[in-house]
Structure 1
């Protein structure tokens, strides 16, 4: 392990000094009245491998396997977690940690009201945890960060797996050996979800190395709409990475994963200089002159994106948002740009019939520069023949009554401050994460106001149930705050109030920053439901 990797109490002692300067830079940025979603400070890693020119690699579509078994109202899938050598950069092989040998992993498709069971077998060299991000899931299948699945035939002890963790006390997780079965009841609305590793102290490294995939949920309401389907319904996982000269992934932490943490230059979060979409660098995808549903996911560790079409369609507003983290909006929203924080999802429809035949439409990142300013390109068919397209975006999307929570009926208001706290490091309410210690308790079925306050750039994620944004900085919700959310972007000095109601499942669940390096450096908290 390199001498500059921060671990254990040493990393928090460093954060009391080194990170304070980074936070100060963030607050200074805020004082200049820049937008709240400006890019967090800290430079990107610089790849040593030769990089391809943009728009040379075809867009991959993650595989969507059929269930192994379908019986008794349950669909069962099998996933093997294993290393795989993938050609991400042309001509080079990159060793990734994968689900079923691909990055992203296989897209699991479920139906609301029908139970999904996913059996995970760990053939990696490290323990893993799987979290279904956006899932309404009981505690024992939620991916609690110390509910480890140990590797098959591994001699690694649980004590070694927990080495370097602070403040563990007497807490021990629900340990499985070799395999674990996750059960998802799917008693929730249709939405675009994703699954990823969630191991305490190592989420950033595991996700960076490839442990992420889509999980799509359908229902009658979504299918009754004339939205684009089939080949015109495309999940897009957007991430940034950096590569060594031999094509291996560059990450500024302990390569053997014996100690959590990152190098001193990256405590604000790790960013790369290569943009990957579905695992391909700056890909290109050919489209017909019709409507396409794009399920956008920011799967990056820390990088924010501000996406825009170049050129925009005549008249602008080419990004028609139909859904957010938790499913369909009540009504579509039309944007020229979309801001995505880590962990956020936006379902949008782009109508390529608004473009002339043969137009090459770039997707740009307005928060990027140099190599991170380009994302991908859509090449519109050059054919002038009419294309059959019966897809539509109706003026009304979601009709369910539960799409609204009334803040006036809240039984409590709770404040959560996301900040740096001296020797404790990245904290929530001044506390570094300790498994089993609940920061608050919530009664099932009651509405509460949770107030998030930030002095830095944080992407806040709440497990178990989605929420509705009530206000941002004491005013109306922002342009990207609408609909059901489970992840919210925050900038320095911001306060966001959300209304939340937890249902169905009691136990310990998670509230944390989805800047994965902050999460690994203790910016997490338990909350319990009863």
Structure 2
């Protein structure tokens, strides 16, 4: 159930109307909601048909009331066109469109998110896993936030002026006009808020949606479509409670702070948001009635920070093999289908902002119920892993109808004949090294940072020194790098000629895992290498000995990462190497960690793409980085 707040009607009046309409469904105490009682919501679809690109489409941001679960009162959220998630936008390749993302959230509207920080105390349950504010007063600064938003079409190749630059957010009555050429292979993009400093709360409030590009190559595969192709927008949420412990439906952004103080600032270290409840298309633990045939699901992890380890299980929590096949990743179709087995204990892992194009074969499951769950210690199959911090494993349930379904679809052996892997050794390309630092690093203020590094050659450098990283690579050579940027507002570091290829290497010197996203370009994961990290001294802010490649810990690139990607999981002690071509647009763009709390706290940097001819006159020295 969704009800939009119209202009001229107060939020309080509409809230009273809705509460009266659902007064018979009281919220439960202690967060105990019944799973799989509400049907999956399917967002509306917008298929632009304007013959003239100058006739833009308006998509308005509005307050809306959402029933996240039938046992809950309505939740105030913000939605595109009053829908959470927003409408699925569907276009053909090369169909250029303009969208006016218009802010229609009335002045003085209540900010829909209550935000608190709760201290984690040793020996007590993790506050992440519980609803309610733990007696902590909400943050007044968050409650006072205005409706200030800018929309980023994640994955799109479009000019910097259309990309949703974080500072260019708009207020009530104003519009962000963006043009999208859509000259891209069939792909699943998604759109979401990207306002500077407050993305974590605006996205949490509901500002997300799905965007699909179709093309002839995809059409020729005859993939499941229509009612058998559905978006699945995955996001975790927490909810506030009344004094008597009843869930009141209000969105709660509860983060925890460690009792261990940061050695430099003396302040506790704040962890990214993790919520106990999983929503799919805005509903907590929904179900979907399906026939015993093939279905296509366009899955995106729209969570602030939750990494999901998904497993398909039966009613006895046993894994169900042979049903799930991944056919696409962030940037489009994979070269070949990848079977997801689950029997070996391996889940389907999806980090924030990643997209998976999945085919599920329900043939042979007629009359049965199977469930998608998030693996957690003692709660789902597989190797126990408490780090995922999952109090409830439920995600959603599929109810397979009885009766034979005439489905003649056959899984293709090859999906994309147009896909080609990059030949690293035969492509002229530049190199960049980006280091991801632990939150205890000196000068970081208690937050992890992005360090842009430049190789130091023919210059004597004192080692060890703050901002100096030495790396011993697979070839045994030691290279020395100097930090040239660490915050968003430091000087521009990367200037790239349009149409050129680059390899970016992300080295994670400390926990946690960071899903790194680069705007504009499609990339391929060239390799994952294990590195020692103990040689990096956070108190110094540099290495005391070279961090070294570890040949004894090979990390293969899995089959479902060998297509087009724009989000890359970078774990502690890993260097992830990705290669892409920066083509199709000019302007100023961003790259960042897609843990939204990290992005807002500084793990974001700008880069510029300009014509190669103009780059020859560049005075900033931001051209290609050194070899590594």
TM class by smaller structure: 0.7 to 0.9
Change (3 A) 1:208 1:234: same
Aligned match of 2:468: none
In structure 2, list runs of 5 or more residues that go unmatched.
Answer: 1-27, 106-145, 242-247, 256-266, 342-346, 377-387, 452-482, 531-554, 611-628
Aligned match of 2:394: 374
Partners of 1:521 and 1:488 in 2: CA distance = 19
Q: How does 1:42-81 map to 2 (within 5 A)?
A: 50-67=31-48, 70-72=50-52, 76-81=56-61
- Alignment of 1:415 with 2:469, yes or no, is no
Q: TM-score, normalised by structure 1?
A: 0.80
Change (3 A) 1:196 1:184: same
SS in 2 for 1:477: coil
- Alignment of 1:103 with 2:84, yes or no, is yes
Partners of 2:416 and 2:392 in 1: CA distance = 35
- Alignment of 1:466 with 2:533, yes or no, is no
Deviation digits for residues 353-378 of structure 1 (CA, Å, limit 9, x no counterpart): 032x2110010111456643111000
Aligned match of 1:213: 209
Q: How does 1:270-419 map to 2 (within 5 A)?
A: 270-311=273-314, 316-336=321-341, 337-355=347-365, 357-367=366-376, 371-383=391-403, 386-400=404-418, 403-408=420-425, 409-419=427-437
Residue 313 of structure 1: how far off its partner (Å) = 9.9
Please say which structure displays the higher CA radius of gyration: 2
Partners of 1:74 and 1:488 in 2: CA distance = 36
Partners of 2:585 and 2:320 in 1: CA distance = 47
Aligned match of 1:24: none
1:132·1:195 contact (CA, 8 Å) conserved in 2? yes
Bigger RCO of structures 1 and 2 (CA < 8 A, at least 6 apart): 1
Q: Which structure: greater helix fraction?
A: 1
Deviation digits for residues 408-431 of structure 1 (CA, Å, limit 9, x no counterpart): 114222111112442233321164
Partners of 2:584 and 2:332 in 1: CA distance = 19
2:371·2:396 contact (CA, 8 Å) conserved in 1? yes
Residue 350 of structure 1: how far off its partner (Å) = 0.8
Aligned match of 2:236: 240
Residue 392 of structure 1: how far off its partner (Å) = 2.5
In structure 1, list runs of 5 or more residues that go unmatched.
Answer: 1-46, 153-177, 254-263
SS in 2 for 1:183: strand
Partners of 1:509 and 1:76 in 2: CA distance = 23
Partners of 1:73 and 1:224 in 2: CA distance = 27
1:226·1:393 contact (CA, 8 Å) conserved in 2? no
| Root mean square deviation of aligned Cα | 2.2
| Equivalent of 2:576 in 496, 506, 519 | 496
Change (3 A) 1:358 1:208: same
SS in 2 for 1:119: strand
Aligned match of 1:147: 168
Deviation digits for residues 383-417 of structure 1 (CA, Å, limit 9, x no counterpart): 2xx2121323210111115x332211142221111
Partners of 1:269 and 1:404 in 2: CA distance = 35
1:48·1:243 contact (CA, 8 Å) conserved in 2? no
Residue 97 of structure 1: how far off its partner (Å) = 1.4
SS in 1 for 2:360: strand
1:308·1:365 contact (CA, 8 Å) conserved in 2? yes
Aligned match of 2:478: none
